[in-house]
Amino acid sequence: MQSKIDVPSSVRLGDWDTLGRDARAIRFEVFVDEQQVDPKIELDEMDAVCLHAIAFDACGAAVGTGRLLPDGHVGRMAVRKCARGTGIGSALLQALMRQAQSRGDLRVVLSAQTHAAPFYAQHGFVPQGEVYLEAGIEHVLMQRVF
């Protein structure tokens, strides 16, 4: 799937110290405010060891985020409501997958909210197993092998 934005200039990769402020704001807006996820579980110790991605709109505002864990999991994918449907999610996912592949990961795994599973399927992810609840929201494990 072709993204609608220029990935190299619109997605920034870095550590939590560098990108955490923007990532935290987006995640709290999407997960805590919109989806009512308990704020106590939104941030975790893995943030410090992940590669983070932030997507910026044409005006330079941070509008999306995601992270790549050391074990090849992609997580905390979130796009602000104002930027959904613009290709921001695809740009974030593609950037994180490229990083996983370039460091030698053979696959990428993620826990998709079931409503987002078709989005991930468009990027080559395949469901693995049954639907389960995480933070009170239905999820399915999905995997893409390189």
pLDDT digit string (tens) for 3-12? 444 443 589 9
- Reported pTM: 0.90
Share of the chain above pLDDT 70, in %: 94
Q: What is the mean predicted confidence (pLDDT) over 125-129?
A: 97
Rounded to whole angstroms, how far apart are CA atoms 43 and 47? 7
Q: What is residue 71's predicted lDDT score, i.e. its pLDDT?
A: 96
Q: What is residue 7's predicted lDDT score, i.e. its pLDDT?
A: 41
Q: What is residue 58's predicted lDDT score, i.e. its pLDDT?
A: 85
DSSP 9-36: HHEEEE-HHHHHHHHHHHHIIIIIIIT-
The amino acid occupying position 29 is E
Please check whether residue 94 is in contact with residue 123, taking contact to mean a CB–CB distance below 8 angstroms.
yes
